[in-house]
Amino acid sequence: MLETARTSKPLAKKRRSRWRIAGVAVVVLAGVLVGLRLALPSVLRWYVNRVIDENPLYEGRIGDVGVHLWRGAYSISDVRLNKTTGNVPVPLFAAKRVDLAIQWDALWHGKLVGRMELDEPELNFVDAEEPSKMQTGAGGPWLAMIQALSPFDINRALVHQGSIHFRAFHTREPVDVYLSKIEGSIENLTNVFDETAPLITTVTAKGLAMDQAEFEYEMKLDPFSYRPTFEVAGRLLGLDVTKTNSLARAYGAFDFEAGTFDLVVELNAKEGQLDGYVKPLFRDITVLSLRNDIPKDNVLELFWEAVVEISSQLFRNQPHDVLATVIPLTGDLNGPQTDILTVVGNILRNAFIRAYLPRLEGTAEDINGLHFGKGSVTEPISVGSEVDK
């Protein structure tokens, strides 16, 4: 009995020693994990800065990096990509927040892919007389950069309150023509759902042009095609043309006094071969105003505006007060061709035979159901030939 008690004491000490070692190990492991968690934002910030600085033409700046382990994500705040040459005053890209995360619903389909969400992203394209001061983003490894920032293939991208600007600072009056309040999405980039249709990825966007006119855009594409294969349809309705006067004065040497602008675009590309059109429509436009333009000191500018006004009056459909044409686009995507005679013929057709309407004509056959949710125009973009109002 005494011997049993003596042997049980060392066993109890061994158990306590093992528990003590295990406890110390757990504390050390917890400390290491906490340390890693605390260091992770700084490590990620260093890594993100390294990735976005790989392009020699652009430098990147970011704010705080947040880690969200519970949803498998991290976010980058206050992202800016600035051009390093030409002293361009606006960034190529800026965003209030970029969030990269696991797309959890894709796990149900056995795919581990990522999702990217952008809050208030802004793109700025800049025209200039000197190439060093132009900003187009051409030549940047942007797709490789996105792939490097996410540990998974991006399958979904979401845009909230985005904007795209075309700017020029070398003109007498700075030009800023833009799309704003863009809500957009890109879905099924990696074909999570194993679709067999040729156009598996869908891109959609809605927003405002110049904070006033609604536009809507839809694209379906095959991201795995060796040569671009896609269908695009979009429409812009009711843009007040006076909001684009900075652009008209800089590149056309005239301005608008009144009127609205509609635009319909439909493109179909198969293996890099393009077929489609662009349809611009001007309604109730006035270029020359006797009250506002006659007092101008520049006689040549006044004369040119008179020529534009007379031409627009001559070639518009008088019953509907519409100046419009259809510009066909065909050929290889690297250099699509348009037939000038067809464009002129379509101007004459609109003026003297039948007025064009801002409707799709059916080139992108798989795209259906685009519509504006508010305002005076609520009918869907319908496929069909033009008819008189």
pLDDT for 381 equals 39
Hey, where are the domains in the chain?
A: 2-194, 253-389
Which of 66-70, 298-302, 370-374: highest mean pLDDT? Answer: 66-70
Residue 180 has pLDDT above 60, yes or no: yes
CA pair distance 261, 266, nearest whole angstrom: 17
> In the predicted model, is pLDDT for residue 94 greater than 80?
yes
Residue 185 has pLDDT above 90, yes or no: yes
Answer yes or no: is pLDDT of 136 > 60: yes
pLDDT for residue 207 is more than 70: yes
Token pair in block for residue 42: 């700084």
Of residues 208 and 332, more confidently modeled: 208
| pLDDT range class, residue 115, cuts 50, 70, 90 | very high
Phi-psi category of 259—alpha, beta or left, where left has phi over 0 and alpha has psi -120 to 50?
Answer: left
Predicted confidence at residue 156, as pLDDT, reads 93
Answer yes or no: are the C-beta atoms of 168 and 126 closer than 8 Å: yes
What are the tens digits of pLDDT across the range 255-282?
Answer: 888 899 999 999 999 988 889 999 999 9
Q: Are 222 and 230 in contact (CB under 8 A)?
A: yes
- Smallest Cα–Cα separation from 368: which of 213, 190, 204, 239? 204
The pLDDT of residue 319 is: 77
Q: How far apart are CA 74 and CA 315, in angstroms?
A: 56
Contact call for residues 284 and 259 (beta carbons, < 8 A): yes
Average pLDDT taken over every residue of the chain: 78
Between the alpha carbon of residue 50 and those of residues 45, 56, 61, 346, the distances in Å are 9, 12, 10, 53
Query: Band of the pLDDT at 142, cuts 50, 70, 90?
Result: confident
**Sorting pLDDT into bands at 50, 70 and 90, what band is 299?**
low
pLDDT of residue 30: 60
Q: Are 58 and 84 in contact (CB under 8 A)?
A: yes
pLDDT exceeds cutoff 70 at 253: yes
In this prediction, residue 50 has a pLDDT band, given cuts at 50, 70 and 90, of confident
Kindly tell me if the per-residue pLDDT of 383 is higher than 50: no
In this predicted model, which residue has the larger pLDDT, 158 or 49?
158
CA 267-154-369 angle, to 5 degrees, is 35
CA angle, 160 then 164 then 165, to 5°: 150
**What Cα–Cα distance (Å) separates residue 227 from each residue in 85, 217, 230, 332, 333?**
33, 22, 10, 10, 9
Burial readout 207-235 (b: 16 or more C-beta within 10 A, e: otherwise): bbbbeebbbbbbbbbbeeeeebbbbbbbb
Interstrand relation of 154-168 and 114-119 (parallel, antiparallel or unpaired): parallel
Per residue in 187-196, pLDDT (tens digit) is 998 888 777 7
pLDDT tens profile 316-330: 777 777 888 888 888
pLDDT digits (tens, 9 = 90+) for 209-230: 999 999 999 999 998 888 889 9
User: Do residues 140 and 58 lie in contact, with contact meaning Cβ atoms separated by under 8 Å?
Assistant: yes
- What pLDDT is recorded for position 249? 87
**Torsions phi, psi for 354 (to 5 deg):** -155, 130
Residue 374 has pLDDT above 50, yes or no: no
pLDDT recorded at residue 385: 39
The answer, yes or no, to whether residue 4 has pLDDT greater than 70, is no
Q: Are strands 213-221 and 258-270 parallel, antiparallel or unpaired?
A: unpaired
With a threshold of 0.75, does the pTM exceed it? yes
